[in-house]
Amino acid sequence: MKKFPVIVIFLLMPLYIVAQDTNGGIHEFGLNLSGPHTFGVRYRSGNENTLLRLTLLSAEGSNQNTKGGSNSSKFGSFGVVFNIGFEKRKFISDKVGFYIGSDLLTSYTSNTNKYDNLSQKSKTWTVSGGPGLVLGFVYKFNSDINVTAEVLPSIGYSYGKTTLNSNGVIISQTNTGITYGLSDTAANLTFSFRFGKKS
């Protein structure tokens, strides 16, 4: 885990270089649809050729309390998925273009369960991250509105921990994993409104 900050700096350095090249003339804000039940917001900033992109795919949480005699229980969860990257566009006409880029995909989730009648409490948290290749298509309806469609094959590493406290006995478990390839959430659409410089 000591190497994690170094890896993050190494991955974010190209984004800093791209940000210096964009000049901030264009800003796009849009709704991102990814998979059958996932949506978020995406912000892009840059010029006609190079754009920095920030995507908040989800941020959600829940808390539930159940009471009934000795069977009281509490459940809580929280999760956030955030991507940062860049894209380079190439237009083949006034309205149609293609782009290529990369994203750093990150997520954090946590879950807590407590059963009063069993004197048992468990907590699980997981962080994950990894690079993704962005391949996309852009269509301009007009100078204000455009739609983009893309696929994002990626590879990611996850690290997490589960802690179980049962009658004062604490058991900890470490969870790691690697994911790669394409999934239903790797293909997405974004409907964007442009403000700032227009062409």
- Residues contacting residue 109 through CB under 8 Å, at least 6 positions apart: 77, 78, 79, 125, 126
CATH number of the domain enclosing 15:
2.40.160
Give the model's pLDDT for residue 170. Answer: 85
Domain containing residue 19 = 4-196
pLDDT beyond 80 at 38: no
Q: How confident is the model at residue 155 (pLDDT cuts 50, 70, 90)?
A: very high
Higher pLDDT, 34 or 105: 105
- Number of separate domains in the chain: 1
Q: How confident is the model at residue 184 (pLDDT cuts 50, 70, 90)?
A: low
Task: Give the whole-angstrom CA distance, residue 15 versus residue 11.
Answer: 8
Q: What is the mean pLDDT of residues 73-84?
A: 87
Task: Give the whole-angstrom CA distance, residue 96 versus residue 125.
Answer: 43
Give the model's pLDDT for residue 19. Answer: 47
Q: What is the mean pLDDT of residues 122-127?
A: 93
Give the model's pLDDT for residue 24. Answer: 56
Q: What is the b/e burial string over 32-46, where b = at least 16 CB atoms within 10 angstroms of the residue's CB?
A: bbbeeeeebebebbb
Q: Give 79-93 pLDDT, tens digit per residue.
A: 888 999 999 999 999
pLDDT beyond 90 at 45: yes
Task: Give the whole-angstrom CA distance, residue 169 versus residue 148.
Answer: 52
Written as six digits, the tokens of 184 are 């239903």
Give the model's pLDDT for residue 124. Answer: 93
